[in-house]
């Protein structure tokens, strides 16, 4: 549905950027927010404006997913930009930041432009590409970051591979700092994690599975923080999962380093016991950790050490998961579960609501330099209308993603997107579902 002017009436306005939490109304016009506030339309809505009754609902900025593997080009049997867009819209996500680990790798200007163009053509939500930090994700030679940024790359990463060579990482941080570019690092030291299948510990030992030690994350984080201090570069930890690494980031922030960090819902909603008896849907990177580490992720979100919640969406086809645990692929889908799993932290009293929403709206927008993520006059009308407390049960069979690899099937949750709006246009409306 497209409307030149739309009024959202009687909604609970939630804007983490300004701290707004008040019942009122909001008006969109021409793809931007034209007005908002508690007194708006107190004398009625003028003719010619479409009306959306938001009583008992909340209106927040559309979610920004800062780290999603969208698989196109090259693995369209697992996901396409079209299917990812449908899943994102259903999950209240209005902006997807796509990783470059596709086939071919997004390491050239033409490929950055391809993803941006395909997103406009086929995706219901905004798609902004990250570009590879090294050519072919080989970890040997830097890409032309300046040119790739000019073409539209919003950040640089080697996807699910860490930049392991410290000399190359130093050069990349130094080069990126001259342009103000952001490096996104999957924080796992590959030599220490090699052949690991799950978190190292008693459960892995009992199952006879090779473990990924927590120190593999801590060592890489601490190394990179020293390099950031040396170069003045901008650095983002894609997904933190261990107490020690979170504490290292916390201390580095106190020293004034230009760093940020993310976490995936899997690492605050589950711990290593979810692997159960070789449950491959719980095989993910970073791995599900101990309960103490899970609680450390929640504490990091609460005190702002962890800035961002991102889905870590990594779709895999059934054949890639229907294997013995050691051979099964890593990854879980997350576009349609990021919001309800995050809302658990509010419902159980772990995080205030605006703090939680900040990690999925204005904070990723700030890190990436985006105009989205806030309710303000003149800001893009990328919005999500929320029923914060409706109880429901996750059913992976109903996912809009092409893949179903989720460990959350059957989990009872509260809260979900009712309507998702991009540039003033409704791209998902739950009331229209059969």
Total H helices, total E strands in the chain? 14, 19
The residue assigned the tokens 């927590």 is 214
CA distance 218 to 162: 13
- The alpha-carbon radius of gyration of the chain (Å, integer) is 21
pLDDT in tens, the chain (434 residues): 445 799 999 999 999 999 999 999 999 999 999 999 999 998 899 999 999 999 999 999 999 999 999 999 999 999 999 999 999 999 999 999 999 999 999 999 999 999 999 999 999 999 999 999 999 999 999 999 999 999 999 999 999 999 999 999 999 999 999 999 999 999 999 999 999 999 999 999 999 999 999 999 999 999 999 999 999 999 999 999 999 999 999 999 999 999 999 999 999 999 999 999 999 999 999 999 999 999 999 999 999 999 999 999 999 999 999 999 999 999 999 999 999 999 999 999 999 999 999 999 999 999 999 999 999 999 999 999 999 999 999 999 999 999 999 999 999 999 999 999 999 999 999 988 74
CA distance 16 to 282: 32
Return the closest-CA partner of residue 122 out of 74, 73, 82: 82
Domains of the chain listed by start with CATH number: 5-59+380-432 (2.30.40.10), 62-368 (3.20.20.140)
Instruction: Tokens for 278, please give them.
Output: 């070789």
Torsion 165-167-170-174 (CA) sign: negative
Q: What is the pLDDT of residue 1?
A: 43
Query: Quick check: pTM over 0.75?
Result: yes
């Amino acid at each position: 549905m497209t409307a030149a002017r739309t009024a959202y009436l009687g909604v609970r306005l939630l804007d983490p950027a300004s701290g707004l939490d008040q019942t009122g109304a909001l008006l969109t016009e021409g793809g931007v927010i034209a007005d908002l506030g508690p007194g708006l339309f107190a004398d009625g809505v003028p003719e010619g404006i479409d009306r959306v009754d938001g009583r008992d609902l909340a209106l927040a900025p559309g979610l920004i997913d800062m780290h999603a593997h969208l698989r196109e080009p090259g693995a369209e049997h697992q996901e396409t930009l079209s299917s990812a867009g449908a899943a994102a819209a259903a999950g209240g996500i209005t902006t997807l930041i796509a990783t470059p680990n596709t086939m071919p790798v997004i390491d050239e200007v033409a490929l950055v432009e391809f993803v941006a163009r395909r997103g406009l053509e086929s995706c219901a939500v905004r798609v902004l590409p990250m570009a590879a930090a090294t050519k072919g994700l080989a970890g040997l030679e830097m890409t032309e970051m300046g040119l790739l940024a000019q073409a539209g790359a919003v950040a640089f990463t080697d996807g699910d591979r860490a930049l392991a060579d410290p000399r190359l990482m130093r050069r990349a941080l130094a080069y990126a700092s001259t342009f103000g570019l952001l490096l996104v690092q999957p924080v796992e030291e590959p030599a220490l994690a090699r052949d690991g299948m799950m978190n190292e510990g008693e459960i892995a030992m009992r199952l006879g599975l090779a473990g990924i030690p927590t120190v593999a994350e801590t060592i890489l984080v601490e190394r990179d923080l020293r390099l950031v201090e040396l170069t003045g570069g901008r650095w983002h930890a894609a997904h933190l999962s261990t107490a020690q690494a979170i504490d290292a980031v916390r201390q580095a922030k106190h020293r004034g380093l230009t760093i940020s960090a993310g976490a995936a819902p899997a690492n605050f909603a589950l711990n290593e016991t979810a692997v159960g008896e070789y449950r491959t849907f719980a095989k993910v990177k970073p791995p599900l950790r101990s309960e103490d580490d899970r609680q450390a992720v929640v504490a990091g979100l609460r005190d702002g050490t962890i800035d961002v919640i991102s889905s870590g969406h990594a779709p895999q086809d059934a054949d890639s998961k229907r294997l013995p645990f050691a051979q099964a692929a890593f990854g879980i889908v997350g576009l349609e579960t990021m919001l309800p799993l995050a809302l658990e932290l509010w419902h159980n009293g772990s995080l205030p609501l605006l703090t939680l929403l900040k990690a999925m709206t204005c904070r990723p927008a700030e890190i990436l330099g985006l105009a989205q993520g806030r309710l303000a006059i003149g800001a893009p009308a990328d919005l999500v209308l929320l029923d914060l407390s409706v109880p429901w049960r996750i059913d992976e069979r109903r996912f809009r993603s092409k893949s179903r690899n989720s460990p959350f099937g059957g989990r009872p949750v509260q809260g979900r997107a009712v309507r998702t709006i991009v540039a003033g246009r409704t791209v998902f409306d739950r009331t229209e579902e059969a």
